[in-house]
Structure formats: C-alpha cells, structure tokens
Amino acid sequence: MARYSKLEVIQTMLDTGIVPVNYQDNPEDAMGVLKACYLGGVRVFEFTNRGDFAHEIFGKLRAFVAEECPDMILGAGSVIDAPTATLYMQLGADFIVGPYFNIEVSRVCNRRLIPYIPGCGSVTEIGNAQESGCDVCKVFPAGNVGGPSFVKNVKAPLPWSRLMVTGGVEPTEESITAWIRAGASCIGLGSKLFPDKYIKAQAWNEISDLCRKALEAVQNARKLK
C-alpha cells in the first residue's frame, strides 16, 4: 500500500525538481543506485518495469526503502496497462508512470488515489490526460517532440500544466536550465545520471554527486525564471 497521499507525492516531485529513472536486473545494484540518489538529496525515484520479473525487484526495493531510505517516494514506470499498474500498486508503488496515456491505467490509479503520470507528445494528449485527472504529465520523448520550445509553447495556452520532461534530458546545468526556464515543473533523468562504469564499479558516491549537481542546477534555474 502506498505510504504517501497523492498530494504529498506530487508536491515532493515538484519541490525536488528531478526524478531519477532507472532499472537494474540485479537487486543489489538497484538498491545501490537508489541509496546513492537518496544520499544525493533525491526524494522521488522511478523504478522502470523493463525486464523479466521486474516487479519482484521492485518489491525488494520497497522493503529496502522502508528500512534505509524512509523519506524516499518510490514509483513504478514503463507501465502500459491497468493490470500492471494494479500489480505495482499492490506492491506499494507511490505513483505510476507510463510512456503514453492509457485511460484504463488512469481509472485504476484514480480508484486508489495514486498519481498517474502518462507520457504525452502533443497538446491533445496532455489535455486528455488532464481531463482524466492526471496532475502531472510526462513530456516524452522530450528530446524528440520539440525540446524546451515544445514545453514553452504548451504552457502558453495551458499555463496550469505541470510537465515532467523525460528522454533526451541530460544532468548538466545547461540542459536542466533550458528545460526549467521553458516551464518544465520537474525533470526525469535516466541513463546519463547512471553511467555504466559507475554501476559496474559500484561507485555510488559518483552517482550521489551527479544527483547533487542536478538538484543544484534545478534550484539555480528556478531563480532565473
């Protein structure tokens, strides 16, 4: 069962400004990555449903978070259908993320008051998602649908939109500043935040440092808006 209310999840996501997005098929590596993000100041983490038996790894992560990272909000991503969303909610997911908008996923999440953050690549998709109760929409793949200018142009007619940009976003001050200044509410960071060489070497401190720099870049960019 989710540990946080819908409002708490969304507010923490917006306050934090970044959402690390990662999948590891080894539970120990998954825990190492998550703990590194936590020590780097991150308080929202998306574990992606990418491999066989991913839900079993998620279940172990959920227990790990309760013991080692008590303030971490843990969600499941790459969820494309309602049964999978339900499975992860039963395992304690605090939020659900998908690569595209699925009305059935929205319905099952709404029944449990769990935030659903669907991937959207057009104003119509964003509007449909908002109509179904999605408080945050994921612009995906952000780097391919128009970049920061897409976010800026969406926010003009839909200024109330809360947009998380994922895909083609880098954990650099230049990239983060461009997205935040365009109007992104938060940023999903994937593989660039978790270089393979760091995972293989279990260089968790290096990942923590990348998280700190990304968080600082978000705060600095927000001051410029």
**Distance from chain centroid for Cα 41:** 15
At residue 43, does pLDDT exceed 70?
A: yes
What rounded mean pLDDT belongs to the chain?
A: 96
Which strand (E) or helix (H) includes residue 54? helix 54-68
Is 169 part of any domain?
A: yes
Q: Is the pLDDT of residue 122 over 90?
A: yes
Domains: count for the chain: 1
Confidence band for 17, pLDDT divided at 50, 70 and 90: very high
pTM over 0.95: yes
Residue 191 lies in a domain: yes
For position 48, which CATH number holds? 3.20.20.70
Tell me, what's the pLDDT at 54?
A: 98
Residue 217 inside a domain? The answer is yes
Specify if 72 maps to a domain. Answer: yes
Q: Would you say residue 79 lies in a domain?
A: yes
Task: Give the mean pLDDT of 151-167.
Answer: 97
The C-alpha angle with vertex 134 and arms to 25 and 22, in degrees rounded to 5, equals: 15
Q: Is the pLDDT of residue 1 over 80?
A: no
Q: What percent of the chain has pLDDT over 90?
A: 97
For residue 36, what are the domain limits? 6-224
State the Cα–Cα distance between residues 39 and 61, nearest whole angstrom.
Answer: 16
Residue 1 lies in a domain: no
**Does residue 225 register a pLDDT over 70?**
no
86-113 mean pLDDT: 98
pLDDT band at residue 217, thresholds of 50, 70 and 90?
Answer: very high
